[in-house]
Amino acid sequence: MSKVYESLKEVVKLKRSKNDPVALAEVKHTPGAILDEEINELEQKISGLKAAVKHREEEIRKETQHAIETLSEDFARLETKLKDVEGTARRKESVTQKNEEKLTTENHALQNELNTAKVTLNNRDNEIKDLKSNVDVLMKQLTESENAIKQAQAEAATEANRTGQLTDSFNTKIAALEAQLSDVKEIVRGKESAIAALEQKLSTETQAFENELRNKEELLAKRDKEINALKSKLEVLTGKIQGMSSFLKQAETLAAVEGQNSVTPGASETESGVTEKPADSPFRFKVPYAQTAMAQQTVPSSFFDLMSQELTRIIGPKAPAFVREHVAALGASIEKFPKSRLAELLEILSQDIVNEPQRTSFRTWFVKHAGGWKKLDV
């Protein structure tokens, strides 16, 4: 920015030196495209910045595409694993169903055997009842034949033994059936535990994949925010460049106004008797009289009123108080404020404006309405 200001300053001095033959002879061989070169350099930097932003956007787009492809592959693998787990669960359910059918068949068979045993027992009970009914007859026939009674008693004893044997056999079968039922229940509980463990494992893996997917989405959102931040910075930079272009035009206008209001270099040289001396640049001149006249000039109080109105629009009703405080801090007053210190006042007031576009707008307004000071760095 200082280079641009120096170039503008040299152009202003060239315009001042149009009526001075000595100064014109001194600068006529100097290149007149310094400002154009500075502007070209600035345009090249802006082009490089745009290319860098475009390259960064392309990188972000590639990274985003790669992340999406990775998520798609992970999701496909997850679906494949889920299908495998579902197939395994279906196979286990099929095996469990077959076992249940087998157990049901065996249970039916055992139930049939139990029913048969019950029929036999009922028959035996009926026979016992018949025997009991025949006891009276036998009791009546006891006198008729003791041999018949003994034979009947022997048959009853045999039948009782047989009934006891059948009862023991049935009890053994029932115990075996209960043991088998217990085993079946243990197997079913084991299958249920295995299925529960499998479901828990599947739920854990699904949760892990969901967390990973959520992290990827957060990363994408973060990349989107970075892109938006870069776009915002680019817009701010574009605004600064536009403000800089406006400042260049205003500086040219200010130079023209300053050239009309100031004393010509020839006259100042005659009155002061000071000869021109080259400084760091062939376009710089030391004119003590002009500097003294600038220091003695004051700013009209109406300018401070306008400036307070402009600042009120930006920072609110406290603006006039800020202006008075900063003027007093510089050891001056609004009624007698030297033009030579306007640049210092501008730098102090700009610090109270936080918003960058508003700060640039206020500095541009200041350049447009102040006029006639030595240095301004927008």
Q: Label residue 14 by pLDDT band (50, 70, 90).
A: low
**CB atoms closer than 10 angstroms to residue 77:** 11
The pLDDT value recorded for residue 225 is: 83
Round to whole Å and give the CA distance between 31 and 38. 13
- Answer whether residue 24 shows pLDDT above 90: no
Say yes or no to pLDDT of 295 above 70.
no
Query: Cβ(298)–Cβ(268) under 8 Å?
Result: no
Mean pLDDT calculated for residue range 153-179? 86
pLDDT for position 29 = 47
Residue 358 pLDDT grade (very low, low, confident, very high; cuts 50, 70, 90): very high
User: Could you tell me the pLDDT band of residue 318, with boundaries at 50, 70 and 90?
Assistant: very high
Residue with tokens 């405080």: 325
DSSP letters, 103-142, are HHHHHHHHHHHHHHHHHHHHHHHHHHHHHHHHHHHHHHTT
The per-residue pLDDT for range 218-241, each reduced to its tens digit, is 887 888 888 788 878 777 777 766
pLDDT tens digits, one per residue of 86-122: 988 899 888 888 988 998 998 889 899 989 979 988 8
- What is the structure's pLDDT at 304? 92
What pLDDT sits at residue 189?
87
Evaluate if pTM is beyond 0.85.
no
When mean pLDDT is compared across 81-85, 283-287, 363-367, the lowest value belongs to 283-287
CA 307 to chain centre: 43
